[in-house]
Structure 1
Amino acid sequence: MTGKRTIAVMQPYFFPYGGYFRLMAACDVFVVFDDVQFPRRGRVHRCEMTPGRWLTLPLAPMPVDTRIKDLRWADDARSTLDKRLSIFGLPGQVATPAAERISNHLTGSLGDVTSFLREGLRLMADALDLKTDFLRSSSLDIDPALRGQARVIGIVQALGGQRYINAPGGRSLYAADSFRQAGIDLRFLVPYEGRFPHILPALFGNDLADLRDDVRNTCHWAS
């Protein structure tokens, strides 16, 4: 699927729905978009476990304009997260080495918030046998004045990308002509209609082969 060097740029969600991981299946480099404003109603800090029930990371109160890379844990984050995990019976019994690694990640040292989120995504990519490279947008020398679409284009160009792949929800954010003028092919995935809208329960309760097949079999570009 990646005849052209393909870049995906996405905020680091906390163990998101299965469809998110299709971006990793479709790209050569997955950029953790961490130098943008933290969306307080999004999925960066919370994971939907069952419809309407969320596992939320214990973050310290911070100003509205805080960037993702500057997020901090609450003082009692480790004990609070342990209690919140236990509500959902996590980590519980682990049946695969991949699930064990993710269990250790959830219950181990927290480190900084963005590294914790990135490592969770990397571990899931390994579990799903996705071979993309990971890096953080804050590690790139991108003009800080660039915003929105222009910033994404700058990231793709900095990485020598010829194609940018995005989730279907990005259609309202990006203009194909602007990417074309920059020498970049803009593509979107089709909406996710797979079996795993809640990835953590699926990871601990299903055969990983089912998850892998779901991500790969639903990873199609929109026409």
Structure 2
Amino acid sequence: MVLAVMQPYLFPYIGYFQLIFAADIFLVYDDVSFIKQGYINRNTILTEKGVKRFTVPVPGASSNKMICDLDFSRDVRKIKEMVRQSYSKAPYFDQVFPLICSILEYRERSIADLCIYSYQLIFDYLGIGKEMIKTSDIDYDRSVSARDKLISFCRTFSADSYINVPGGRALYSRSDFSERGISLKFIEPVDVVYFQGGDEFVPNLSIIDLLMNCSVSKVHELLRSYRLA
């Protein structure tokens, strides 16, 4: 059983979706502090004028509040119009734009619930089934270290493998996990390049850009373009 854990991000880049894809169970880490100026409620797309950031407001957002206690605003008109203007001529606009609107207009406004809905809807569009669970719904010791919380999650779900993003190399030791019967691996995207309509490829944009420009089969190919080390 392979487990991965990550804070909820709105329309993250493909590396986030590769992490979900590589795991049997994906935990959305929502009972931790909200990070302002991060990617929880914003990301970037490609417009006629270049890369542009979009943000969905989170009323009352503060680093003193947990993600699970915060909601997205219902005012999503600007981002919908930005996406429409930016990708109206993209090859898969007709299929993907309604999906993006459905996510932005989702009735449940909590950050984690809306993000999970977005991941599930995107994987459904791709014909891939994934299991996702909020950590706020799990009974575990919240007073222990970040490492021990991850080990606890692995034990709860009988996972013998935990996958982390490359940044985790500076935080976690393989030996700390292996001593507890868990294999720690790190995921890194490779060769994630696709046609965006211009001459120069712009990497690490929101998944919106990839979905608008790529067929389902191409997205499948790119989802598998990673290595575990």
How much has 1:170 moved relative to structure 2?
Answer: 1.4
Q: List alignment gaps of at least 5 residues for structure 2.
A: 195-203
Equivalence for 1:13: 9
Evaluate the alpha carbon distance shift between residue 87 and residue 25 of structure 1 in structure 2; reply closer, same or farther with a 3 A threshold: closer
2:184 to 178, 181, 186: 186
Q: Which amino acid aligns with 2:185?
A: R
Matching of residue 116 in structure 1 with residue 114 in structure 2 = yes
Equivalence for 2:80: 85
Equivalence for 2:199: none
Equivalence for 2:68: 69
Separation in structure 2 between the aligned mates of residue 111 and residue 17 of structure 1, nearest angstrom: 21
Equivalence for 1:59: 58
How much has 1:156 moved relative to structure 2?
Answer: 1.1
Equivalence for 2:40: 44
Q: List alignment gaps of at least 5 residues for structure 1.
A: none
1:29 to 22, 25, 41: 25
CA root-mean-square deviation: 2.2
Separation in structure 1 between the aligned mates of residue 106 and residue 131 of structure 2, nearest angstrom: 24
| 2:8/2:29 contact within 8 Å kept | yes
Separation in structure 1 between the aligned mates of residue 4 and residue 166 of structure 2, nearest angstrom: 12
Q: Which amino acid aligns with 1:221?
A: L
Separation in structure 1 between the aligned mates of residue 172 and residue 84 of structure 2, nearest angstrom: 40
Evaluate the alpha carbon distance shift between residue 161 and residue 39 of structure 1 in structure 2; reply closer, same or farther with a 3 A threshold: same
Matching of residue 202 in structure 1 with residue 210 in structure 2 = yes
Of 30-39 and 206-215, the range deviating more from structure 2: 206-215
How much has 1:165 moved relative to structure 2?
Answer: 0.8
Q: Deviations over 1:12-53 (max 9, x none)?
A: 111111121111221110011111111213211112113752
Once the two structures are aligned, what percentage of the paired residues are identical? 27
Separation in structure 2 between the aligned mates of residue 30 and residue 59 of structure 1, nearest angstrom: 24
- Structure 2 length-normalised TM: 0.83
| 2:71/2:109 contact within 8 Å kept | no
| 1:24/1:130 contact within 8 Å kept | no
Q: 2:57 is paired with a residue of what secondary structure?
A: coil
Q: Which amino acid aligns with 2:37?
A: R
Separation in structure 2 between the aligned mates of residue 110 and residue 78 of structure 1, nearest angstrom: 10
Separation in structure 2 between the aligned mates of residue 155 and residue 39 of structure 1, nearest angstrom: 22
Matching of residue 173 in structure 1 with residue 171 in structure 2 = yes
Separation in structure 2 between the aligned mates of residue 147 and residue 193 of structure 1, nearest angstrom: 35
| 2:30/2:136 contact within 8 Å kept | yes
Separation in structure 2 between the aligned mates of residue 63 and residue 37 of structure 1, nearest angstrom: 8
Equivalence for 1:215: 223
Q: Which amino acid aligns with 1:204?
A: M
Equivalence for 2:201: none
**How many residue pairs align between the two structures?**
212
